[in-house]
Amino acid sequence: MVIGKIIGNVWATRKDESLNGLKFMIAQLENGEKIVVCDYIGAGTGDMVLITKGSGARKVLENESIPIDAVTIGIIDGFEEGE
């Protein structure tokens, strides 16, 4: 998984029907890269989130045939980094 900061939202009226009702947010990853995640946890702009990518992302969906490849699986309360 990767840690990302939610920095905004993205809208697409013209999209695959199976995506209707899903919320798409922009997350900035630790290496600066920006990706789009499907938010399942109720994250908001500014939240630090835990993101799963690839086929694992569809495991949170009841219907695994929805074409997404990145999802928020948790809102991070804190992390501790020791040397």
Nearest approach, Cβ of residue 21 and its own copies (Å): 13
Of 21 and 65, which CB lies nearer to its own copies in the complex structure?
Answer: 65
Contact 26/9 with Cβ under 8 angstroms?
A: yes
Nearest approach, Cβ of residue 31 and its own copies (Å): 6
> Which residues contribute to the site for its own copies (CB under 8 A)?
1-3, 7-16, 18-19, 24, 26, 30-31, 33-38, 40-42, 45-46, 50, 52-60, 65-71, 73-83
Nearest to 73 by CA among 55, 10, 11, 53: 53
Nearest to 35 by CA among 1, 69, 66: 69
